[in-house]
Amino acid sequence: MRLKFIFLFLAGFTVFAQQTQKPLVESTNGMVVSTHPAASEIGLQILQKGGNAIDAAVAVNFALAVSHPAAGNIGGGGFLVYRTAKGKAYTLDYREKAPLKASRDMYLDSAGNVIPGKSLIGIFSAGVPGTVNGMVEMHRKFGRLSWSEVVQPAVDLAANGLELTEKEARGLNRNRADFIKENPGKSYLISSDGQEFAKGQILKQPDLAQTLARIAQSKNKGFYAGPTADMIVEEMRKQNGLITHKDLRKYRAVWRKPLVSNYKQYRIIGMPPPSSGGVALAQLMKMMEPFPLSRWGVTSDSTLQVMIEAERRVYADRASWLGDPDFVKVPVAELMDSSYVTTRLQSMDFAKATPSADIKAGVFAGYESPETTHYSIVDKEGNAVSITTTLNNSYGSKVFVGGAGFLLNDEMDDFSSKPGVPNVFGLVGSKANEIQPEKRMLSSMTPTIIESNGKLKMVVGTPGGSTIITSVFQVVLNTLEMGMNMQQAVEYPRFHHQWLPDATRFEANRLSNDQLNRLGSKGYVFTPSGGIGLVEGILILPNGRLQGGADSRGDDTVKAY
């Protein structure tokens, strides 16, 4: 990423100006920001024909299941944070669940060691999908247009085909070998002539179109019963998977109490457990409150140090305490208590890095590429939707449901297969996040809505596994403290520390060589990283106009009117 920055020093304040790769989009009536131009366009059309933000969200979700199969899905799960124009907040949890036949040690061998890859790829890694039930439930409660009206555009997209972007074509080609290996006898998302996919090629998905048509016609019964459910269970039978008709019949999305916290004059509405995102973001923001970040500026060593030290401490809490609140007692109030949170940074020393081992002992772990996807929508009345949804890894378990044409998730890897053993994101867990039948696996997804003085201020979120929380944290600070507009804020290079491993990953241009040397001499370890996150944000300006931020790391697109 090549960025140009200008810093003007005025009366003690650093005014930030950054030339963005994607243009800054502003509008008055409504805005959709998602990771695919076709999905953003469908969301915009729903808004323009009188649909509200929830109608658009449902339409975008199903459009992403067609246009962005790496993460858009009907075979996965997600979280909704919703704020009505009147200021009432709701959160819906449609996270996947462990199948009834799941058990604590299902990914361990007879010696008690984690079997590499078993929770990550193949049918055994799939949790019971929640997305369709989540869409039906949010539409039942808040939708304005008819259900079939909001699902039909995705049916058409799958049946008539869509033009592949360069990134989508590359993603499909990269996963071709896994698709073939995990799907004997099927040809989904594999180029029929044996050639690689190319940008501009039209991709049609007729089986997926029929599955979506069944959902358009019968809502939950189009997925959790009837032919689609039969196909899922038949796929399980063929490949020794665990999901049964009973699992599908029993799946229910849950409305949870929104997690509300304060940062200065801002009110942050976040997702409660089983996501760790809301708690972690609340802790991070509260830890920043005493520090003059806007005066220090976004590039200063002090800013970096307090942010890294906060991230380190917050991920240590995440590993110990967070899990599915329907199964374990999660000390949410204690974790978010201001005096607890502020004391956490008292052990920080600007002269040297705090070793993660001093916060809590742990192990080193590797990383995997980001996945998941987020979209942000505001309609003309001011209703706001922040949704993050996922299959876990890119293209989930890589297993397609035969006849139904959609991918199953590999969300079971978000459980802790064994205490202290890292998952694909290098995250360690404990008893709170061990596997139990019907339990939801802990997530890092952080769909977020922020208010300022009672008014809608920002809608934001991102994919990125364990980096989701820190990406949202940094983009929020970029706008609230560093004077960036929404597009600048999402494009600005990021870094990430998650307690273990004890190292900060950073994108190109985030740290100067001098800074790396200075902070390195204080004990900070840095590792270069590829792109971190794909943030989609909408900032509401004081005059009420909407300002979009679509991440230039992906195909992310703002559509507005």
Please report the DSSP string for 212-235 in residue order.
HHHHHHHTTHHHHSHHHHHHHHHH
CB of 266 to ligand GLY, least distance (A): 24
Total of chain residues touching ligand GLY, rule CB under 6 A: 8
Task: Specify the stretch interacting with ligand GLY by CB under 6 A; choose among 174-182, 292-300, 437-445, 454-462.
Answer: 437-445
84 tagged catalytic: no
Minimum CB separation of residue 278 from ligand GLY in Å reads: 12
Residue number, 99 or 465, with CB nearest to ligand GLY: 465
Residue 444 or 485: which CB sits closer to ligand GLY? 444
Q: Quick one: which of 63, 4, 69 has its CA closest to 377?
A: 63
Cβ atoms of 549 and 537 closer than 8 Å: yes
Q: Which residue is nearest to ligand GLY (CB)?
A: 443
414 belongs to the binding site for ligand GLY (CB under 6 A): yes
Query: Which one of 48-56, 289-297, 312-320, 439-447 is the stretch in contact with ligand GLY (CB under 6 A)?
Result: 439-447
Amino acid (1-letter code) at residue 69: P
Q: Catalytic pick from 131, 372, 467, 470?
A: 372
From the CB of 337, what's the least distance to ligand GLY, in Å?
Answer: 24
Does 443 bind ligand GLY (CB under 6 A)? Our answer is: yes
Q: Which residues ranging from 382 to 411 are in contact with ligand GLY (CB under 6 A)?
A: 390, 392
What are φ and ψ of residue 75, in 5° steps?
A: -100, 15
Q: Which of residues 323-382 bind ligand GLY (CB under 6 A)?
A: 372
Report residue 533 as tokens: 């996150």
Q: Could you say whether residue 71 binds ligand GLY (CB under 6 A)?
A: no
- Our measurement of the distance from residue 170's CA atom to the centroid of its chain's CA atoms, rounded to an integer in Å, reads 21
In the complex with ligand GLY, the residue whose CB is nearer, 120 or 310, is: 120
What are the tokens at 253? 């999305």
3-state secondary structure of 58: helix
Closer by beta carbon to ligand GLY, 390 or else 436: 390
The label of the residue with tokens 């009672």 reads 454
Per CB under 6 A, the segment of 44-52, 168-176, 319-327, 442-450 that binds ligand GLY is: 442-450
Q: Which of residues 36-65 bind ligand GLY (CB under 6 A)?
A: none
89-94: strand order across its sheet? 254-256, 89-94, 77-83, 384-390, 373-378, 31-34, 557-560
Structure tokens at 324: 């599915």
What is the nearest approach in angstroms of ligand GLY to the Cβ of residue 141?
23
Rule CB under 6 A: choose which of 433, 444, 504, 547 binds ligand GLY: 444
- Range 205-264, binding ligand GLY (CB under 6 A): none
The residue (of 106 and 445) whose beta carbon lies closer to ligand GLY is 445
Query: Is 465 a residue that touches ligand GLY (CB under 6 A)?
Result: yes
What is the β-pairing status of strands 162-163 and 202-203? antiparallel
Choices 54-62, 122-130, 438-446, 494-502 (CB under 6 A): range interacting with ligand GLY: 438-446
Q: If you write DSSP's letter for every residue of 163-189 in order, what string do you get?
A: EPPHHHHHHHHHHHHHHHHHSTT--TT
Instruction: Give the nearer residue to ligand GLY in terms of CB position, either 63 or 391.
Output: 391
Name which of 140, 539, 461, 95 is nearest 281 in CA terms.
Answer: 461
CB atoms under 10 Å from CB of 505, counted, come to 22
> For the residues of 342-388, what is the DSSP string, one character each?
HHHGGG-BTTBPPPHHHH-------------EEEEEE-TT--EEEEE
The strand pairing partners of 5, in sequence order, are 18
**Minimum distance between the CB of residue 513 and ligand GLY, rounded to whole angstroms?**
33
445 is an interface residue for ligand GLY by CB under 6 A: yes
φ/ψ of residue 536, rounded to 5: -120, 115
CA dihedral 320, 322, 326, 330 (to 10 degrees): 80
Q: Tokens for 53, please give them.
A: 């933000």
Q: Which is nearer to ligand GLY, 51 or 77 (CB)?
A: 77
Nearer to ligand GLY, 243 or 280 (CB): 280
Give me the active site residues, please: 372
Binding site for ligand GLY (CB under 6 A): 372, 390, 392, 414, 443-445, 465
